[in-house]
Amino acid sequence: MANHFSQLAKKSESNGATKKVSKEQTGAPSLEIYKLGDDVLRQNAKRISKVDDSIRNLAKEMLQSMYAAKGIGLAAPQIGINKELLVIDVNFEDSAADPLILINPEITDFGTTLNSYEEGCLSIPGVYLNVVRPSTIKLKFRDEMGRPRKMKADGLLARCIQHEMDHLNGVLFVDRVTSKEDLNTELIKEGFHAKDVIPIN
């Protein structure tokens, strides 16, 4: 699937899609990334009705900020924009690998196998905790040219997509942490407050 998407992305570039963003970003992120406790992170994002240059430019800015912050995923609500837009790059060390831009993503199927893996978030810097999620997913979305796409994902990519899609529903990964003791310890260590967590388990 990765090779297939890469070919689509290269074709999209030639059709006027977002130009390639350097993964070697220096300095602070150009966009403010909101942190746990900010109300904007708890709102439901809205579907994007038209994919145009403003959306492509926003995706480019999000990628630049994600790379500058050393992240592998960023959702529009994290920068205070209430839209269903995600940027993801689990191959951030590979300059030739194209990132994913997911517009109006929707998971159509979850695998039956669950696994636990440590997650972090640019909106909760310094906090890393285990979260249980399905290990495989199928999803549909629109690409940066507005074309409908489908894909399967597993492993880290599947986890990252689920993590970022949670942001579109006002959910943060700490809401899914089952060990309250570990959660409270990590939050306090990094200066966050347990009262800002909304458990969904």
Q: Which residues are catalytic?
A: 164
**Residue 191 corresponds to which tokens in the numbers above?**
């200066």
Any idea what DSSP says for residue 34?
P
Task: Tell me the helices (H) and strands (E) count for the chain, helix number first.
Answer: 4, 7
108-113's contacts with Cβ under 8 Å and 24+ in sequence apart are 108/138, 108/139, 108/140, 108/150, 109/137, 109/138, 110/134, 110/136, 110/137, 111/135, 111/136, 111/137, 111/154, 111/158
Q: Whole-angstrom Cα distance, residue 120 to residue 131? A: 10
Rg for the chain, CA atoms, rounded: 16
Tell me the longest C-alpha to C-alpha distance in the chain.
51
Q: Residue type at 7?
A: Q
**Residue 89 corresponds to which tokens in the numbers above?**
């790059």
Cα dihedral 65, 177, 2, 84 sign: negative
